[in-house]
Amino acid sequence: MNIVITGASSGLGAETAALLAAEGHRVILGSRSIQKLKEVKKRIQSEGGSCEVYALDVTNEQSCVQFMKQAEENNGSVDILINNAGAGTFKKIEELQAVEVEEMLSVNVTGVHNMTKAALPYMKARDQGKLLFISSLAGKIPSPKASVYAASKHAVIGYARAVRMELAGTNVNVSIFYPGPIDTPFLDKADKTGNYRSRLGRMMLTVRETAVAVGKLTEKKSRESHLPKVGFLLSVLYQTAPKIVEKAAGKQFQKK
């Protein structure tokens, strides 16, 4: 299959690309950092995989349209779009700057819409394809100092579910993935204090196990999937007993 992955220059995107390429898929990668993308491509090709890379700014609608046009023309078709690009800053509300808020909403919400909108005409014309949205457990269970990040990931959930309803009756599948905290460079940028990483320690997911879970989702028609699996139970608990979860989360994350 031909699989597009946004935000693929590092972290989960890069690892997922390497894993899927090793399984025989052709991966088409996009990111603002073309130099880092070329490094990912070099790794994939050295392992015998097939990969193409293009510069992509998901916050720019025309960039997304051009990216999908290139991906389709050079590969015949795009079977799966993995909306993975994300941005995050973990700070108290009074410390968050407007530019940081705008970055999270632009990448995590507008960017998801731009890429989905650019990919859908091709998939609908073939009546075949898959949209895989990388959300976060934070979208279901918010925590201190992740207010806007949680809001943006909550928006992804609502958006993806609405897209699924719009695509009812077609063969374009929609899946949402909810990973917990992942040990990637994303955390270093989101929390420059390092407190988040130190507080979670062994609770964090490895990038490899998370990429494996994403890879499995590309093969299934699962509507939604959580990692770790207990994340689903925690999200249900939050819906039924929010006070308990908020108290526990407050203690765990207040210092991040």
> 248 vs 240, which has greater pLDDT?
240
Tokens 């293009």, residue located? 54
| Token pair 């609770």 in the structure block, residue | 203
Helix axes 111-126, 61-75, angle to 10 degrees: 30
- Percent residues over pLDDT 70 in the chain: 91
Q: If you average pLDDT over every residue of the chain, what do you get?
A: 92
Question: Is the pLDDT at 214 greater than 90, yes or no?
Answer: yes
pLDDT of 240 above 70: yes
Counting the structural domains of the chain, the total is 1
Q: What is the CATH number of the domain that holds 95?
A: 3.40.50.720
The two tokens of residue 196 are 């988040």
Residues 6+ apart with CB under 8 A from 130: 79, 80, 81, 172, 173, 174, 175, 218
Q: pTM of the full predicted structure?
A: 0.92
C-alpha to C-alpha distance for 146 and 152, rounded to whole angstroms: 10
- Confidence band (pLDDT; 50, 70, 90) for 244? confident
**Confidence label for 249 from pLDDT (cuts 50, 70 and 90):** low
Positions marked catalytic: 149
Strands 129-134, 80-83: parallel, antiparallel or unpaired by DSSP?
parallel
Give dist(CA 142, CA 164) in Å, integer. 24
Cβ atoms of 13 and 41 within 8 Å: the answer is no
Query: Taking the chain, what is the end-to-end CA distance rounded to the nearest angstrom?
Result: 40
For the ranges 31-35, 215-219, 229-233, the lowest mean pLDDT is seen at 229-233
**Higher-scoring residue by pLDDT: 39, 248:** 39
Structure tokens at 150: 């949680």
Q: Look at residues 47, 27, 29 and name the one whose alpha carbon lies nearest to residue 38.
A: 29
Q: Compute the Cα dihedral for 83, 131, 181, 243 and give only its sign.
A: positive
**Owning domain of residue 152:** 2-253
Instruction: Note whether 256 and 145 are within 8 A (CB).
Output: yes
Of residues 6 and 189, more confidence is placed in: 6
- CA dist 198 → 157, 215, 256 (Å): 28, 28, 8
Q: What share of the chain is helix, strand, coil (3-state, %, to 5)?
A: 55, 15, 25
Torsion angle of the four alpha carbons 218, 174, 123, 214, in this order, in degrees rounded to the nearest 10: -20
The pLDDT value given to residue 180: 92
Residues 135-175 have pLDDT tens digits of: 999 999 988 899 999 999 999 999 999 999 999 999 999 99
pLDDT tens-digit readout, 25-45: 999 999 999 999 999 999 999
Question: Which pLDDT score is estimated for 229?
Answer: 85
